[in-house]
Amino acid sequence: MKKMKMEDRFSSLPDPILCHILSLLTTKEAVTTSILSKRWIPLWRSVPTLDFDDSNLYGGDEVYARFVEAVYKVILARDFNQPIKKFRLVLTERLKDPANISVWVNLVLKRRVEHIDISLHFEDDEFLELPHIVVDTPSMFSCTTLVVLKLEGLELKANFSSVDLPFLKVLHLQDLLLQDEGCLAEILSGCLALEDLKARDVFFDGNKADAEFITLPKLVRADISESGGSQHFMMKVVNNVSFLRIHEIDYNLIYMGEDMFHNLTHLELVYTTFNRDWFEVLEFLKYCPKLEVLVIKQPQFYNVYLNKLGAKDWQYPSSVPECILLHLKECCLNHYRGTKGELQFAKYIMEHGRLLNKMTICSSTAEKQGEKLENLKKLFSCTRCSATCKFSFK
């Protein structure tokens, strides 16, 4: 009786609330709820989220064919008058016909979609070309209802000369292959409302075209990498952000203008090796005059030879970066190994950070307990300029 009452209590909720609950499930799970009772049979057709993921799909071609067929059936069976707020597609198996993705995207574009998230992860690490969207439907890059667009693992050869995404706030591009740097510039030029940008491992198939400088007036957050050679262009695009994450920064590619990064308050530098020039890190900070939070993420595991390269002493710069003296409040070093370079950098920050409130050192999990204790002693002996600075060693 109690079970029946609970079921009746859920069934008595209005359709919009039930559809919202179902939107928190995968599409497969949402469709499965139709077996509960007659009340639930039509509900999944009005759920505003479509979420397809083949990560847990096991079997041969026949099993995968049923997955593809199910995607078509679900999309076409939905109430056409109900908009699709979010379409998420995660594929780990190579499709027999990659044009299926274009057809699915076309179908959701007709439903006033606001959020598209396509992520392809194939074992051979090859890009899957997304054929050009059918001419008689709106292109994915001129969909005026899109607010979020996330693409990963695709080769795009569409015509980007008419990109028009007036309401797009979030654009994440990762492991993408484009014709040239000019294509990236054209995509960004049609996203003037953009607030959050990720451009990680964006590669180019042909010779670089001259990319014009793009100003994104509302951009506040960016996550970029140097892979593909687009970092020089991207650093100009993101110079007004307040949050910036850079993977494997190439200091030689960056044009240091006098007013670069004047709004930047949070900076994360992510490295895959310990082969680091700490002096260059401090030189870069000179172009971040208002920086308040600095996070440096290093790899957990390291190559012994590269670690020795990064262990040497380095000369302090002739002048202390303004942000360290007047604005820096938090500094965090991840996967700290206790090399000479790391210790010297941490010491420099604590000695000159007048407003530093928190210095966090996260040791590498590969480090032995005795090494951690020795590193802790060295760090605690460092002079702290700020009387309010709290030291945290994890």
pLDDT tens string 61-74: 788 888 888 889 88
Separation CA 208–CA 362 (nearest Å): 40
> Residue range 107-120: average pLDDT?
90
Q: Does residue 95 form part of some domain?
A: no
Q: Does residue 214 form part of some domain?
A: no
DSSP H helices, 36-116, are 61-77, 99-109
DSSP H helices, the chain, are 2-11, 15-22, 27-32, 61-77, 99-109, 181-189, 231-237, 278-285, 304-309, 322-326, 340-352, 369-380
Q: Give the closest residue to 196 by CA, choosing from 259, 115, 120, 271.
A: 115
Separation CA 171–CA 119 (nearest Å): 13
Q: Which of 105-109, 133-137, 147-151, 293-297 has the lowest mean pLDDT?
A: 133-137
Output 128 or 289, whichever has higher pLDDT: 289
Q: Which string of b and e fits 74-94 if b means at least 16 CB within 10 Å? A: bbeebeeeebbbbbbbbbebe
Mean pLDDT for all residues in the chain = 79
pLDDT tier for residue 102 given thresholds of 50, 70 and 90: confident
Res 311: pLDDT: 53
Q: Does residue 377 form part of some domain?
A: yes
Q: Does residue 383 form part of some domain?
A: yes
Q: Which of 147-161, 257-271, 307-321, 354-368 has the lowest mean pLDDT?
A: 307-321
pLDDT tier for residue 13 given thresholds of 50, 70 and 90: low
- Report yes or no: 309 and 275 within 8 Å, Cβ to Cβ: yes
Domain count, the chain: 1
pTM of the predicted model as reported, rounded to 2 decimal places = 0.84
Separation CA 217–CA 195 (nearest Å): 9
Res 351: pLDDT: 92
Does the pLDDT at position 135 exceed 50?
no
Residue 282 belongs to domain spanning: 256-394
**Cβ-proximal residues to 42 (8 Å cutoff; 6+ apart), any chain:** 34
Output 69 or 35, whichever has higher pLDDT: 69
- Report yes or no: 230 and 189 within 8 Å, Cβ to Cβ: no
Separation CA 214–CA 233 (nearest Å): 9
Q: What is the dihedral of CA 240, 244, 247, 251, to 10 degrees?
A: 50
- Give the pLDDT confidence of 307-361 residue by residue, as tens digits: 444 555 677 888 899 999 999 999 999 888 878 888 889 999 999 999 999 999 8
Q: What is the dihedral of CA 168, 169, 175, 178, to 10 degrees?
A: 40
Output 312 or 287, whichever has higher pLDDT: 287
Q: Does residue 111 form part of some domain?
A: no
Q: Give the closest residue to 52 by CA, choosing from 19, 16, 27, 75.
A: 27
Output 197 or 361, whichever has higher pLDDT: 197
Q: Does residue 318 form part of some domain?
A: yes
Q: Which of 17-26, 100-109, 130-139, 315-324 has the lowest mean pLDDT?
A: 130-139
Separation CA 297–CA 31 (nearest Å): 42
Q: Does residue 25 form part of some domain?
A: no
Q: Does residue 39 form part of some domain?
A: no
Task: Among 181-195, 196-210, 253-267, 371-385, name the most confident range.
Answer: 181-195
Does the pLDDT at position 304 exceed 60?
no
Separation CA 232–CA 63 (nearest Å): 45
